[in-house]
C-alpha cells in the first residue's frame, strides 16, 4: 500500500523550516529536524529528543521520515559487494550496490527507474524508462545501505540505473544534502555522477557547478561507432560534447573522468587510441577502462591482453588511464548489470532488523 504521508527525507533545511512553520512551530525546529534526519541519521521521530514531546507525537501521526523496502539482497560476494533490490512506494523496483573498501565505503545508486537512452550493452537500457526518482528516493538508497551494512558511507557514485542528467533537479537537490556540512557531510570530491553526455545539462552543470564530479561514458572514438552503441550520440555528437567538456574542465578546475568499456575489435584498436588523443586535446582527462560485463548484448569483451595493449597505446598518446577493477560481476551487481524487474535471480531475503 502506498503511504499517503509525505516523506521528510528529501526536504532541504529551508523546506523543513517552512514545514514546521506551517504547523505553528518556530523555524529552528525545522533545523533540528534537518539535523536529526541527515546528520544524526535518526530513523524515528521518537529518537529526536531535542524536539518537544507534543511535536514528536504530531510528526509520528502526520508525517514520516521515509524508507525504501528492501525486497531482496544478494551477497556479500567474494569481493564483499552486496546488491539490494529496493521497492519504491508505488511498487516499482530499483537496485543499489554497496562496495565496501573500494577503497572507501562506496555506494552505487540509481537516479531513475530504467533508462530512456537504451545503450546496447546495458541491462538497465533494456528495461526502458519508467520514471525519475525523487530526491528522497535518491538519498534513501544511501541511508538504507548505511543502516543495513552498519557503516558510514564515504563515497557515492551515481552509476546505477538511469541517466542522472535526465533527472537533473532531483539529483542536484540530493547532492546538496549529501554534501551539506550540517547535513550528510560527504566530500564533493568523493561523489561521482556518471553521464552519457547530455550537452544542455552539462552546460547547466558548468553554470551551477553542483557539489560532485562528473564522469563521461565515452565508449567509442568516432560518431559512426558511438551512434551504434550509445543512441544519445546522435543528438550529442562527439566534437560538440568535447567542446562542452573543455568548458567543464575550465569551470571545475578538475580533470574530466571518462569511462570507456573495452569491446573487442570495436574500440580497442590502435586508431582508437590516436582518435582519443585528438578528441581529448585541451581537456585534462583521466580514462577509466572498464571490462565489458555480460548482459546478453552480443558484444565481445576485449581480452586482458588487448586491454594491456590499448593501455600502452594510450600512454604513448599521453593519456592518463587506469583499468577499473570489476566488482560484483558474479551477482550481476557490476556496472551496467542492474535490471530491477521480476523475475529476478534468486537472492536471499533480508531481515530488516539485520
**Cβ-based nearer residue to ligand SF4, 45 or 339:** 339
Is position 261 an interface residue for ligand SF4 (rule: CB under 6 A)? Answer: no
Is residue 155 within 8 A of residue 100, CB to CB? The reply is no
Write out the residues near ligand SAH by the rule CB under 6 A: 121-122, 159, 163, 194-196, 217, 259, 261, 290, 292-293, 295, 335-336
CB of 336 to ligand SAH, least distance (A): 2
Is residue 274 within 8 A of residue 316, CB to CB? The reply is no
Nearest partner of 112 among 182, 198, 190, judged by Cα: 198
Rule CB under 6 A: choose which of 17, 163, 272, 331 binds ligand SF4: 163
Judged by beta carbon distances under 5 to 8 A according to partner kind, the member of ligand SAH, ligand SF4, none in contact with residue 118 is ligand SF4
CB of 191 to ligand SF4, least distance (A): 17
Nearest partner of 215 among 155, 295, 140, 143, judged by Cα: 155
Sort residue 283 into left (φ over 0), alpha (ψ -120 to 50) or beta. Answer: beta
**Cβ-based nearer residue to ligand SAH, 7 or 192:** 192
CB of 338 to ligand SF4, least distance (A): 8
Catalytic, out of 115, 122, 321, 335:
335
Show the cell assigned to 318.
599521453
CB of 219 to ligand SAH, least distance (A): 6
**Residue 247 to residue 263: CA distance in whole angstroms:** 29
Element (H, E) at 200: helix 199-208
CB of 176 to ligand SF4, least distance (A): 23
Is residue 229 within 8 A of residue 119, CB to CB? The reply is yes
Residues 184 to 203 in contact with ligand SF4, rule: CB under 6 A: 196
Active site residue 122: no
Residue span 99-118 as binding mask against ligand SF4, x where in contact by CB under 6 A, dash where not: ----------------x-xx
Reduced DSSP (H G I as helix, E B as strand, rest coil) percent helix, strand, coil of the chain, to 5:
40, 20, 45
CB of 350 to ligand SF4, least distance (A): 25
Residue 261 to residues 227, 291, 315, 349, Cα–Cα distance (Å):
15, 6, 17, 32
| Residue of closest CB approach to ligand SF4 | 125
Catalytic, out of 17, 95, 144, 163:
95
CB of 117 to ligand SF4, least distance (A): 4
Sort residue 55 into left (φ over 0), alpha (ψ -120 to 50) or beta. Answer: alpha
**Residue 9 to residue 115: CA distance in whole angstroms:** 24
Phi and psi at 286, nearest 5°, equal: -125, 125
Active site residue 4: no
Residues 120 to 149 in contact with ligand SF4, rule: CB under 6 A: 122, 124-125
Show the cell assigned to 251.
569551470
Nearest partner of 197 among 234, 151, 251, 142, judged by Cα: 234
Judged by beta carbon distances under 5 to 8 A according to partner kind, the member of ligand SF4, ligand SAH, none in contact with residue 130 is none
Nearest partner of 29 among 43, 38, 16, judged by Cα: 16
**Cβ-based nearer residue to ligand SF4, 7 or 244:** 244
Element (H, E) at 108: strand 106-108
**Cβ-based nearer residue to ligand SAH, 183 or 210:** 210
**Cβ-based nearer residue to ligand SAH, 174 or 290:** 290
**Cβ-based nearer residue to ligand SAH, 8 or 123:** 123
**Which residues does residue 107 pair with via DSSP β-bridges, in sequence order?**
98, 156
Rule CB under 6 A: choose which of 10, 75, 162, 328 binds ligand SF4: 162
| Residue of closest CB approach to ligand SAH | 336
Show which residues are catalytic. Answer: 95, 335
Q: Which residues are near ligand SF4 by CB under 6 A?
A: 115, 117-119, 122, 124-125, 162-163, 196, 336
Amino acid at each position: 500500500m502506498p503511504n499517503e504521508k509525505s516523506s521528510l527525507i528529501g526536504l532541504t533545511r529551508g523546506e523543513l523550516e517552512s514545514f514546521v512553520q506551517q504547523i505553528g512551530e518556530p523555524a529552528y525546529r525545522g533545523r533540528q529536524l534537518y539535523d536529526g534526519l541527515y546528520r544524526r541519521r535518526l530513523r524515528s521521530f521518537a529518537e529526536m529528543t531535542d524536539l518537544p514531546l507534543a511535536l514528536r507525537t504530531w510528526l509520528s501521526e502526520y508525517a514520516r521520515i521515509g524508507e525504501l523496502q528492501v525486497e531482496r539482497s544478494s551477497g556479500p560476494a567474494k569481493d564483499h559487494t552486496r546488491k539490494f533490490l529496493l521497492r519504491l512506494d508505488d511498487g516499482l523496483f530499483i537496485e543499489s550496490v554497496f562496495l565496501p573498501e573500494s577503497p572507501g565505503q562506496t555506494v552505487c545508486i540509481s537516479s531513475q527507474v530504467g533508462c530512456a537512452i537504451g545503450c546496447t550493452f546495458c541491462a538497465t537500457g533494456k528495461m526502458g524508462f519508467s520514471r525519475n526518482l525523487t530526491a528522497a528516493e535518491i538519498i534513501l538508497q544511501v541511508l538504507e545501505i548505511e543502516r543495513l551494512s552498519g557503516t558510514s558511507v564515504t563515497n557515492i557514485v551515481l552509476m546505477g540505473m538511469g541517466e542522472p542528467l535526465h533527472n537533473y533537479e532531483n539529483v542536484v537537490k540530493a547532492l546538496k544534502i549529501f554534501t551539506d556540512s550540517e547535513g550528510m557531510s560527504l566530500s564533493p570530491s568523493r561523489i561521482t555522477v556518471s553521464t552519457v553526455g547530455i550537452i544542455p545539462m552539462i552546460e547547466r552543470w558548468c553554470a551551477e557547478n553542483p557539489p560532485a564530479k562528473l564522469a563521461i561514458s565515452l565508449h567509442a572514438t568516432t560518431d559512426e561507432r558511438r551512434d551504434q552503441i550509445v543512441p544519445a550520440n546522435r543528438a550529442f555528437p562527439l566534437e560538440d560534447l568535447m567542446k562542452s567538456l573543455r568548458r567543464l574542465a575550465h569551470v571545475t578546475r578538475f580533470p574530466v573522468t571518462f569511462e570507456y568499456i573495452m569491446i573487442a575489435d570495436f574500440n580497442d584498436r590502435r586508431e582508437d587510441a590516436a582518435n582519443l588523443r585528438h578528441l581529448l586535446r585541451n581537456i585534462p582527462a583521466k580514462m577509466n577502462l572498464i571490462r565489458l560485463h555480460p548482459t546478453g548484448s552480443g558484444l565481445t569483451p576485449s581480452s586482458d591482453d588487448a586491454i594491456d595493449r590499448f593501455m600502452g597505446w594510450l600512454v604513448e598518446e599521453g593519456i592518463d588511464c587506469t583499468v577499473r577493477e570489476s566488482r560484483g560481476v558474479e551477482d550481476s551487481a557490476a556496472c551496467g548489470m542492474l535490471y530491477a524487474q521480476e523475475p529476478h535471480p534468486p537472492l536471499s531475503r533480508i531481515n530488516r532488523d539485520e
